[in-house]
Amino acid sequence: MTMYGPIRATLLVAACALYFVGHSARISAAESQPHAASATPVRIVAYIMSWTTPPDIHPEKLTHINFAFGRIDRDGKVVLPHPGVAAQLAQLRALKTRNPGLKIIISVGGWTAEGFSDAASSTASRNVFANSAVALLREHELDGIDLDWEYPGQSVAGIKSRPGDKHNFTLLLKTLREQLDRASAEDGRTAGNHYLLTIASADREYFDYTEMEKLHVYLDWLNVMTYDFFNSLTPTTGHHAGLYRSPFAAPTDRNADASVKQHLAAGIPADKLVLGVAFYGRGFAGVSPLHRGLNQPYERFEAAHPYAELVDKLIGKQGFVREWDAQAKAPFLWNATTHAFITYDDPESIAIKADYVKSHHLGGMMFWELSQDHQGELLDTIAGALSRAAADQPVVVPITLLGNFPVVSVQIAGTDVPLIFDSGNSGTVALTQAVIDRVKAVPTGETSRGMDPKGNVIEYPKFKIPRVQIGTAVFTDVVGELDVHDPSYQATQVGQQGFLGTSLLKPYKVVLDYPHRRITLVPAGSTTSAGCKGTAVPFSPAWHGEPATEVDTDLGKFVVWWDTGTPTSVLSKKAAEQARPSLAEDSVTSKRLALGDADFGPWQFVVSEMALPPGFDGLIGYDFFAHHVVCMDFPAARLLIQP
């Protein structure tokens, strides 16, 4: 057991030097505060065009930027469109100082972009394409590549296509995935920091010319183009980004909901689907006035209109009236005098789409494109809605049980660091010196006082790291400490590089599910239990929000700490002898282990010499966690235990 951080009014808190694990105790004279934590929002992907990069970008509202477009040269290599783009990419990378988690992705292709069919056509050409993509990412320090092939097997945009595109596209993505993963390993970009691979996908016939049921396994996600459903190529007007079917729509008309369902039917996981929204509208002229121009024939396609232009010049102006289609959940403009019709997205429709993303557990939202927004209005709608969604979403983190210890992969400064989750550790993170050096943690110049297993008081240097990520939960400006465990300690021999304490996780209900090898972090405001249920046992008030409770046994009542860093349940020799004065054994079995209104006995405790603060009698360890799902509900200061 390691109890990092303070217990109020206690200078030297716990010298819990358990002889059977050699675990050192941590103490502090001053009370540390848990650092603020927030769940990473579901993906918010902004397309930014090289020819209209907006002067003011708010990276804190984005998770990814797709820079459009890279192109394919005559040799089948991925290249930048012109030399000046390198400076633009450098400016985008600089945004990471304001949002270290921001990923910059190069999007290759676009409407009328040539070269994909040839690049995908053979093993040799696919390798050329993939190798050049990796080289480009490395040269410009980018985080991934997005393929916007419009479209495989089709020449509607005037590009070359061939029947083999259908299978070749899958092979191209497979080759890219293999090359990107190899490069990720070589560059030390592991787990959530690996090189990303995404595509822009469409619906209907797009599925006829691709192997969507196969290719999605190579992708991190798909940017679903749920817009441009009505344009210069369609015979009537309609909602170009409608969420649902209009009441006047033809049976063959498209909508976003139908597109999502088609993707799901192909076996693509919902959390890989990023719903596209449009920051622009499409105008039609000479429109039949029936239904105020909705789903009517027209004389000519008029123009595309950025949302900023719509707000400044057209909505409620020049004879245009905003209408709302309650069934499609989409706005449109109608000019009864000129018979002009404009279809677009606005804050109301986008907010409804954000709710759709949340209720269908999709992977986020993307939009084309950022410069067309009006004073950040549409992006603010997305960021606000999805940030609230993230705050309600549980974070599921796999664990590896190495021996008795639950090891969690934690991202620190883009590096995967295996840490033991130690609920007997009331600090944030304790890292080995090697990890501190590798992630370039910054010393604070402060120390905490602690005890080694022999009871000697030592100083623990503190350091600061800007970002720690556990699953999709992100913690910023974390102050941790040096892990000074005895090198012979068992845990260091199973690959751990430090400890993860409870202070970092205080905003969550932490569900420890050893049988299924996972930990789930449930935000305090979440509407779902996500496994945090069962017999309720309050934390002991004396321990100020730490997982210490009272257990009732036939030996007596004891205050115990729930410690994932300890292999067995333990009673101090002092507590055991008070319960049974004649006790001489190394262990004792209680017929009853009452927690709340449930009895989990009989239960065996190891009897150990251990120094504990007054009123503290022992530990509940791995032997209990291995067979029960235990939720440490820190916000409510209680445990919930499932039999």
* pLDDT, tens digit (0-9, with 9 covering 90-100), for 266-298: 999 998 999 999 999 999 999 999 999 999 999
Residue 72 pLDDT more than 70? yes
**Domain match, 193 and 268 both:** yes
Among 151-165, 485-499, 531-545, the range scoring the smallest mean pLDDT is: 485-499
Q: Does a structural domain hold residue 434? A: yes
Residue 31 pLDDT more than 60? no
Q: Is the dihedral of CA 222, 223, 229, 231 positive or negative?
A: negative
What are the distances in angstroms from CA 202 to CA 169, 238, 440?
14, 18, 43
pLDDT tens digits along 137-149? 999 999 999 999 9
**Domain match, 573 and 627 both:** yes
Q: Does a structural domain hold residue 310? A: no
Which of residues 502, 527, 552 is at a domain's end? 527
**Domain match, 507 and 555 both:** no
Q: Determine the pLDDT at residue 35.
A: 33
For 63-108, the DSSP string reads SEEEEEEEEE-TTS-EE-SSTTHHHHHHHHHHGGGT-TT-EEEEEE
pLDDT tens digits along 519-531? 999 887 776 777 8
> At 15, is the pLDDT very low, low, confident or very high (cuts 50, 70, 90)?
very low
Q: Determine the pLDDT at residue 643.
A: 78
Rg (CA), the chain: 29
Strands 405-412 and 457-470: antiparallel
Strands 598-599 and 603-608: unpaired
pLDDT tens digits along 363-373? 999 999 999 99
Which of residues 486 and 518 earns the better pLDDT score?
Answer: 518
pLDDT tens digits along 372-428? 999 999 999 999 888 766 666 788 888 888 888 899 988 887 678 889 998 988 888
**Domain match, 361 and 413 both:** no
Q: Does a structural domain hold residue 15? A: no
**Domain match, 75 and 199 both:** yes
**Domain match, 257 and 144 both:** yes
Give the tokens for residue 445.
């110049």
Q: Does a structural domain hold residue 491? A: yes
Residue 264 pLDDT more than 80? yes
Tell me the residue range of the domain where 567 lies: 537-642
CATH of the domain at 400: 2.40.70.10
**Domain match, 113 and 223 both:** yes
CATH of the domain at 130: 3.20.20.80
Residue 40 pLDDT more than 50? no
pLDDT tens digits along 313-365? 999 999 999 999 999 999 999 999 999 999 999 999 999 999 999 889 899 99
Residue 236 DSSP class: B
**Domain match, 384 and 403 both:** no
With the CA atoms of 61, 86, 91 and 377 taken in that order, what torsion angle do they form, in degrees rounded to the nearest 10? -40
- With a pLDDT cut of 90, the percent of the chain lying above it is 61
| Strand (E) or helix (H) holding 372 | none
SS (H, E, C) 102-161: CEEEEEEEEECCCCHHHHCCCHHHHHHHHHHHHHHHHHHCCCEEEEEEECCCCCCCCCCC
Strands 594-595 and 598-599: antiparallel
Strands 518-523 and 603-608: unpaired
Q: Determine the pLDDT at residue 220.
A: 94
Catalytic one of 139, 150, 178, 577: 150
Distance CA 567, CA 403 (A): 9
Q: Does a structural domain hold residue 204? A: yes
> At 7, is the pLDDT very low, low, confident or very high (cuts 50, 70, 90)?
very low
Q: Determine the pLDDT at residue 613.
A: 64
Q: Does a structural domain hold residue 479? A: yes
pLDDT tens digits along 181-206? 999 999 988 766 899 999 999 999 99
Which of residues 527, 552, 572 is at a domain's end? 527
Q: Is 150 a catalytic residue?
A: yes
Give the tokens for residue 369.
């494109």
Asked whether the bond before 369 is cis by omega within 30 degrees of 0, the reply is yes
Residue 9 pLDDT more than 70? no
Q: Determine the pLDDT at residue 22.
A: 31
Q: Does a structural domain hold residue 286? A: no
Q: Determine the pLDDT at residue 490.
A: 39
Which of residues 367, 391, 415 is at a domain's end? 391
621 with 512: CB under 8 angstroms? no
**Domain match, 363 and 399 both:** no
Distance CA 157, CA 560 (A): 69
Q: What residue ranges in 221-268 does DSSP mark as E strands?
A: 221-224
**Domain match, 620 and 564 both:** yes
216 with 229: CB under 8 angstroms? no
Task: Count the Cβ atoms, other than its own, within 10 Å of residue 386.
Answer: 22
Which of residues 493 and 481 earns the better pLDDT score?
Answer: 481
Instruction: Look up tokens 């633009």; give the residue.
Output: 88
Q: Does a structural domain hold residue 321? A: no
**Domain match, 383 and 430 both:** no
Work out the burial of residue 323: count CB atoms within 10 Å of its CB; fewer than 13 is exposed, 13-18 middle, 19 or more buried: middle
User: How many domains is the chain built from?
Assistant: 3
Residue partners of 244: CB distance under 8 A and separation at least 6 = 255, 256, 257, 327, 328, 329
Q: Which residues of 527-555 are buried (b: 16+ CB within 10 A; e: fewer)?
A: eeebbbebbbbebbeebebbbbbbbbbeb
**Domain match, 553 and 516 both:** no
